[in-house]
Every structure is written in structure tokens, then in C-alpha cells.
Amino acid sequence: MWLLPALLLFLPGFSTAKDQITGPSMVSGQERGSLTVRCRYDPHWKGHKKYWCRGADWGTCATLVQTDTSEKLVEKNRVSIRDNQTDFIFVVTMEDLRTSDASIYWCGIERIGNDPGFKVNVNIDPDPQIPVLTVTTTAPVLTSTPSTRENTGNHGETQTNPPTWSLLSSIYFLILVFLELPLLLSMLSAVLWKHLFNV
Ligand SMILES: *[C@@H]1O[C@H](CO)[C@@H](O)[C@H](O)[C@H]1NC(C)=O
């Protein structure tokens, strides 16, 4: 009785490398906060290196942290990884999150041949503590931001500058309202017009 469902669960594991590891397809964290991702793997990958990779393309993503086949915690910059070989799970933690951390990541297992991987979408919600401009009918006013944002000295990471970002987003908003919206509306009315009178 149990054999058929068991086979159905088991068989796909052989079909592609991707089924050998699972995790959340979407994770959210708040700017300046942290997030944790748990990836479960097939027990036979126990003694393999596990890693966390950034980039939409699985073949070319950049590994941020990697275990050394043991359960030892490995930390690099604001990211850590720990393998649990009793539970067959590895845990990735990203700390001091920035909006620029939003990306596609992968839980991966190193092996000879095609590494098994699982795609994880990471969202970062902007910190409500950081003043973000609300667009009014008047020209945008730059608000001052606390200059006490700690810089932990990580390389390869540019910190987003909230005033610039706000200005850019208000410019984008203006473009959206004054250019894209009328364009969309005119296209919509053209389609409607055609539909109503031309058919
Ligand atoms: C692995 O998980 C088990 C059960 O949750 C826990 O007791 C153990 O301490 C964990 N090991 C590591 C290395 O975190």
C-alpha cells in the first residue's frame, strides 16, 4: 500500500539534481535586520560541502559562504552557514541586511558533476526608521538621515544612500505618473476604441 506513494516521492530524486535539496523559495527580511534560510538535503550529501550562492543564474552565481564538510559554523562578512548532519539541514543567516541584498540566491551542495541546488528569492523590506520621502505635489525635499549608520567595513558592498535613493525614487515616481501612466491610458483607450467601434 505505502510502496506506490513512497516510490512517487522517491523517484523524482533521481531525475534531476535539484530535487536532492529543498528550502524556502521565498524569504523576506527587514533592512538592518537579519534572516535565516534552512535548506534540507538528502542524507547521502551529509559529508559534502554546503554553500550559499548569489545570482539568478545557477551556473554562474557567486558563493558567499561554504562549509568545510563539517558542522563547523563558517562566517564571512554578514553571512554565516552551518551544516547540521543529524537533521540533514544547513542554515544560512544573513545579518545587518541592506536593500541591496535583495536578490536570487541558491542553497548548493558541492559534488563532482552538477551540484544540486535550490533557488531562494530574498526580499528586503526597507527599514521604516530610515526616512523615505513621501511624494507630494511640490518638489521633493531632501530629509537628513542619521549619520550614525554603522559601517562594518565589509568589502565589495556599497551602502545605499537614503537621500539619493529617495530622490531617485521620487523622480521615478514622477516619470511614472507623468509619462508612463498617460501612455498606458492612451494605449488602453485606443484598444477600447478599436474594440467598441471597429469590430
Ligand atoms: C542539529 O539539530 C539537532 C536537533 O535540532 C540539535 O540537537 C543539534 O545541536 C544540531 N547540531 C548543530 C551542529 O547545530
Atom of ligand 1 nearest to the CA of 91: 14
For residue 86, give the ligand 1 atom closest to its CA. Answer: 1
The Cα angle at residue 105 between residues 103 and 109, in degrees rounded to 5? 170
- Give the residue, 132 or 191, on which the prediction is more confident: 191
Pocket of ligand 1, beta carbon within 6 A: 71, 82, 84, 86-87
Cα 89 to ligand 1 centre (Å): 9
Decide if pLDDT at 17 tops 90.
Answer: no
When mean pLDDT is compared across 38-52, 89-103, 121-135, 159-173, the lowest value belongs to 159-173
Residue whose Cα lies nearest atom 7 of ligand 1: it is 86
Is pTM beyond 0.75 here? no
Given a cut of 80, whether residue 112 has pLDDT beyond it is: yes
Domains of the chain and any CATH numbers: 21-125 (2.60.40.10)
> Whole-angstrom Cα distance, residue 127 to residue 78?
17
Give the pLDDT band (50/70/90) at residue 10: very low
Contact 26, 121 (CB under 8 A): yes
74 pLDDT tier (thresholds 50, 70, 90): very high
Q: What atom in ligand 1 is closest to the CA of residue 85? A: 1
Ligand 1 site-directed mutation target among 40, 72, 86, most atoms within 8 Å of CB: 86
pLDDT band of residue 127 (cuts 50, 70, 90) is confident
Alpha-carbon distances, residue 46 vs 28, 109, 144, 176 (angstroms): 28, 10, 51, 51
pLDDT at 186: 83
Number of H helices, E strands in the chain: 4, 10
Measure the CA–CA gap between 66 and 81, rounded to whole angstroms.
Answer: 7
* CA–CA dist 180, 183 (Å, integer): 5
Burial degree of 94 (CB within 10 A; 0-12, 13-18, 19+): buried
Grid cell locating 160: 545605499
**151 has pLDDT over 60:** no
Of the candidate ranges 11-15, 40-44, 112-116, the one whose mean pLDDT is the lowest: 11-15
